[in-house]
Amino acid sequence: MALSEPPAHESADGTAADSPGEPAGRPSPGASLLAHVRAYVALSKPRVIELLLITTIPVMFVAASGVPPLGTALATLVFGTMSAASANAINCFIDRDIDQEMRRTRRRPVAMARVTPLGALVYGLALAVGSTAGFALLVNLLSAALSAFAILFYIFVYTMLLKRRTAQNVVWGGIAGCMPVLIGWSAITDRLDWAPFVLFLVVFFWTPPHTWALAMRYREDYAAAKVPMLPVVATEQRVMLECVLYSWATVVTSLLLWPVADTTPFYALVALALGAVLLVQAHRLLARVRAGVTGPKLSTMGFFHLSNAYLALLFCAVTVDPLLAGLLD
């Protein structure tokens, strides 16, 4: 999907266009401030953060065997949001050169000069310090350490080491996106256990096919930016085969939570049903590739959106299950 220029009522920097009551080229102070705030919010990648919170909240319910303490839950969500935003902002600072090359990312704040590189870096570092300190003071030291590890891993391992060097970038770089599961559990229990590691692996195996489905749609962008995503360096059949294998690993791992966390049959049935839908779609895409369907006709975005729904609904079941178990006791 090609990105168009800003609409006629919006200027290139995201501020409102000149109104009859304003001198030409001089947006009102209120409009300028709002545009500045919006640019920093966009720098945080709020849609990515939403996905991380989807995995943080449910695991706290499992850890608490019901509704978690409100204060701890709110603190975890606030500092978890700050932690993710810090990593995303610093990622935009580091990747500003390739963001300008890609249709999907060229309108990010640093790439469009809505935020200066130094501003993005300072913003990211301030959020990193604030989130780590907040976890340490108001939650616990283990959660603070896990949060700091997630930030450092995303910046130094994924963004700086893997992203531009290997097609396995999202496989191992995805570890950072799995950390909210461990952070949510440790925030409630101040320790780690097997159950959060099972959910960690669910997100770990889910990430590659989810990301590759999107990368198939934008592989020309990644190729132009010289980012060796798997769809850029491998055949479509190879990509779809790996998507199928990782999808199977995701579904099988999700079912392990039943015995490990002693969930009710409700969770197992939901995980089985959702997994069946995911696997059918993955195998359908592989079959289409083997039948000679390639390029835009393959339409991998359907799988991308389905995988989003899969993870959200699976973790909804994770949330509901301990509440249901409490009612049945």
Domain annotation covers residue 36:
no
- Span 126-132, average pLDDT: 97
The structure tokens listed for 22 are 């304003």
Average model confidence (pLDDT) across the chain: 89
Q: Is this prediction's pTM over 0.85? A: yes
Q: What gap in Å lies between CA 136 and CA 307, rounded to an integer?
A: 34
Domain annotation covers residue 323:
yes
Domain annotation covers residue 31:
no
- Span 88-98, average pLDDT: 95
Predicted local distance difference test score (pLDDT) of residue 37: 87
| Concatenated DSSP letters of 125-189 | HHHHHHHHHHHHHHT-HHHHHHHHHHHHIIIIIIIIIITTT-TTHHHHHTHHHHHHHHHHHHHHH
Residue 28 banded pLDDT, cuts 50, 70, 90: low
CATH code where residue 298 lies: 1.10.357.140
Residue 25 banded pLDDT, cuts 50, 70, 90: very low
Q: Is the pLDDT of residue 1 over 60?
A: no
Residue 3 banded pLDDT, cuts 50, 70, 90: very low
Residue 30 banded pLDDT, cuts 50, 70, 90: low
Q: Is the pLDDT of residue 9 over 80?
A: no
3-state secondary structure of 15: coil
- Span 206-232, average pLDDT: 94
Structural domain of 291: 45-328
Chain centroid offset of residue 62 CA: 21
Q: Is the pLDDT of residue 295 over 80?
A: no
- Span 218-222, average pLDDT: 91
C-alpha distances out from residue 229 to 3, 35, 135, 225, 291, Å:
21, 33, 34, 10, 24
Q: For residues 264 and 300, is the Cβ–Cβ distance under 8 A?
A: no
Q: What gap in Å lies between CA 328 and CA 70, rounded to an integer?
A: 23
26-30, 111-115, 169-173, 230-234: least confidently modelled range:
26-30
The structure tokens listed for 119 are 């501003």
Q: Is the pLDDT of residue 19 over 90?
A: no
**Which percentage of the chain shows pLDDT scores above 90?**
75
In sequence order, what are the residues at sequence separation of 6 or more whose Cβ sits closer than 8 angstroms to the Cβ of residue 271?
A: 251, 254, 255, 257, 258, 314, 317
Q: Is the pLDDT of residue 327 over 90?
A: no
In sequence order, what are the residues at sequence separation of 6 or more whose Cβ sits closer than 8 angstroms to the Cβ of residue 5?
A: 12
Q: What gap in Å lies between CA 173 and CA 134, rounded to an integer?
A: 25
Single out the residue of 230, 253, 240 nearest to residue 314, CA to CA: 253
Domain annotation covers residue 100:
yes
Q: For residues 116 and 109, is the Cβ–Cβ distance under 8 A?
A: no
Domain annotation covers residue 22:
no
Predicted local distance difference test score (pLDDT) of residue 53: 85
Q: Is the pLDDT of residue 21 over 80?
A: no
Q: Is the pLDDT of residue 307 over 90?
A: yes
Residue 20 banded pLDDT, cuts 50, 70, 90: very low
Could you give the residue ranges of the DSSP H alpha helices within the chain?
A: 29-43, 46-64, 70-94, 96-99, 117-138, 141-152, 169-173, 175-189, 194-217, 219-224, 230-233, 236-261, 265-290, 301-328
Q: What gap in Å lies between CA 297 and CA 293, rounded to an integer?
A: 6
Q: For residues 120 and 43, is the Cβ–Cβ distance under 8 A?
A: yes
Number of domains, the chain? 1
Domain annotation covers residue 151:
yes
Computed from CA positions of residues 112, 305, 66, 253, in that sequence, does the dihedral angle turn out positive or negative?
Answer: negative
Domain annotation covers residue 232:
yes
Q: Is the pLDDT of residue 50 over 90?
A: no
Domain annotation covers residue 180:
yes
Residue 102 banded pLDDT, cuts 50, 70, 90: confident
